[in-house]
Amino acid sequence: MIDLRRLHVLRVVDQLGTITAAASSLHLTPSAVSQQLRGLSHDLAVQLLEPDGRRVRLTPAAHALLKHADDMAARWEEARGELRAYAEETGGVLRLAGFPSVLPALAVPAADMLRRREPRLELRLVELETVDAYERLLVGEVDIAITLPNLGGPTADDPRFDQQRLLDEPQDLLVPLDHPLAGRDTVGLEQLAHDDWVLPPPHSCDQYELVAVACATAGFTPKIAHEVKEWAPTIATVAYGFGVCLKPRLVPIPADTPVACIPLRRPAPRRRLLTCTRRGSREQRPIALGLEALAEAAAQMNAKAAARQQA
C-alpha cells in the first residue's frame, strides 16, 4: 500500500527544490519531510533521494514515480468532485487567488457574485504573485489562481495543473501630460526607446517580465530610471515626469491624475490571464462555481472596455 500523503510530500519537494522549502510550505519540520520520504522509499523498495554535496536530490526512480504521482493526484481530485455530488453539498470552501492588479478587477467582483448567489459557500481571497501561486495550489492552500504565463513557470501541458485562458488584456502606454507623445491617438513602442522608464525591480513580478519582453521585441532594452512595484506610486512617478511605463488596462488611474494613457499600435503587447487549478479539480462544485463567476467577470470587463473605446 502506498500512502498518498507521502506521494504529495514528494511532489512538493520536487516543486520547491529542497526539503527545507517543502517543509515550510507543508507546515512540517524538515525531519518530518525526510521521514515521510524515507517511509515512501521503504514502501516501494527503491531509493528516492541521493546526496548532492550538502543537499539531496531526487533519484531517477523518484522522477519516474512523480509521473504516476501526478496522474494519481489528478484522479483523486476528480473523485473528490464526484463524491461531493453524491453528498449534494451546497456549501464548501473556495480559496481564490490573484496578483495585485487583477484581485480588485476580477477576483473581487467574481467573489461578490458568488456571495450573492451561493450564500453557503465560504469564500477566501488571497493576494499572490503568479510565481507563488503554483506552490500554494500544489499544497492545497488555494483552489483557483489567476496567473500569467511566466518564465520558469509550468508549461501548458504540466501534468500537475490545468491552465485555461480567462482574458487577454492589452497594455497601454502611460506618460506625463507634457510628454511629446501625450496627444497621440496611438504610438509604437519603439518610439519610447530613449525614454526613462518606471518599472518594478527586475524579476520582482510578472509585469517586469512582460515589459522587458515587449521592449526587446520592439528592438530596445528599457532604461530603468526608477524601480517601483505598486501601481499607485508607479502612476504618481509617471505623473511627476520621472519616466514612462506600460500599464495593464485593468489597472485604474485615479481621477485628475496628470497622465496620458495611450493605446499601442498593433501588435500591442498583451498579458494573457489564465485560471490555474490542480489538474482534475475543475468539476468540484466550489471550483466550478468560481470559474463560472470569473468568466462572467471577465466578460463584463471586456464589455466595459469596448464601450469606453466606442465612446
The pLDDT confidence band at residue 246, using thresholds 50, 70 and 90, is: very high
Instruction: Give residue 306's pLDDT.
Output: 67
The per-residue pLDDT for range 248-298, each reduced to its tens digit, is 988 889 989 999 999 999 878 888 999 999 999 998 999 999 999 999 999
Residues sharing a CB contact under 8 Å with residue 212, sequence separation 6 or more, in sequence order: 221, 222
C-alpha dihedral over 228, 229, 233, 235, to 10 degrees? 90
Instruction: Give residue 209's pLDDT.
Output: 85
Contact 187, 262 (CB under 8 A): yes
237 φ, ψ (degrees, to nearest 5): -60, -40
Grid cell in block for residue 39: 517511509
- Of residues 246 and 304, more confidently modeled: 246
Sort strands 144-147 and 270-278 into parallel, antiparallel or unpaired.
Answer: antiparallel
Share of the chain above pLDDT 70, in %: 95
Instruction: Give residue 1's pLDDT.
Output: 66
The candidate with the shortest Cα–Cα distance to 247, out of 237, 257, 234, 236, is 234
The per-residue pLDDT for range 163-204, each reduced to its tens digit, is 999 999 899 999 999 999 999 999 999 999 999 999 999 878
Q: Residue 308: pLDDT above 70?
A: no
Sort strands 144-147 and 93-98 into parallel, antiparallel or unpaired.
Answer: parallel
Q: How many CA atoms lie within 13 A of 245 on its CB side?
A: 30
Instruction: Give residue 231's pLDDT.
Output: 93
Q: Residue 89: pLDDT above 80?
A: no
Grid cell in block for residue 266: 498593433
Instruction: Give residue 82's pLDDT.
Output: 73
What is the pLDDT of the chain when averaged over all its residues?
Answer: 89
* Block residue for cell numbers 530610471: 225
Please give the average per-residue pLDDT across 86-100, as a whole number.
79
The pLDDT confidence band at residue 56, using thresholds 50, 70 and 90, is: confident
* Domains, the chain, ordered by start: 4-72 (1.10.10.10), 90-167+272-310 (3.40.190.10), 169-270 (3.40.190.10)
The per-residue pLDDT for range 207-236, each reduced to its tens digit, is 888 899 999 999 999 999 999 999 999 999
Q: Residue 309: pLDDT above 60?
A: no
Contact 136, 126 (CB under 8 A): yes
Sort strands 161-176 and 259-263 into parallel, antiparallel or unpaired.
Answer: antiparallel
Share of the chain above pLDDT 90, in %: 49
- Of residues 175 and 7, more confidently modeled: 175
The per-residue pLDDT for range 118-157, each reduced to its tens digit, is 998 999 999 998 888 998 998 889 999 999 887 678 899 8
The candidate with the shortest Cα–Cα distance to 187, out of 253, 271, 266, 257, is 266
C-alpha dihedral over 216, 16, 4, 158, to 10 degrees? 10
Query: What is the reported pTM?
Result: 0.73
Contact 208, 202 (CB under 8 A): yes
Highest mean pLDDT among 19-33, 82-96, 179-193: 179-193
Instruction: Give residue 218's pLDDT.
Output: 93
| Adjacent-strand bridge partners of 223 | 196
Instruction: Give residue 307's pLDDT.
Output: 67
- Rounded distance, CA 97 to CA 120, Å? 20
Instruction: Give residue 80's pLDDT.
Output: 79
Neighbours of 138 (CB within 10 A): 22
Identify each DSSP E strand in the chain by its residue range: 49-52, 55-58, 93-98, 122-127, 144-147, 161-176, 196-199, 223-227, 245-248, 259-263, 270-278
Please give the average per-residue pLDDT across 86-115, as a whole number.
86
DSSP type of residue 218: T
Instruction: Give residue 67's pLDDT.
Output: 86
Angle at 234 between CA 165 and CA 220, to 5 degrees: 70
- Rounded distance, CA 302 to CA 296, Å? 10
Contact 187, 180 (CB under 8 A): no
* Block residue for cell numbers 522549502: 21
- Rounded distance, CA 305 to CA 232, Å? 21
Q: Residue 62: pLDDT above 60?
A: yes
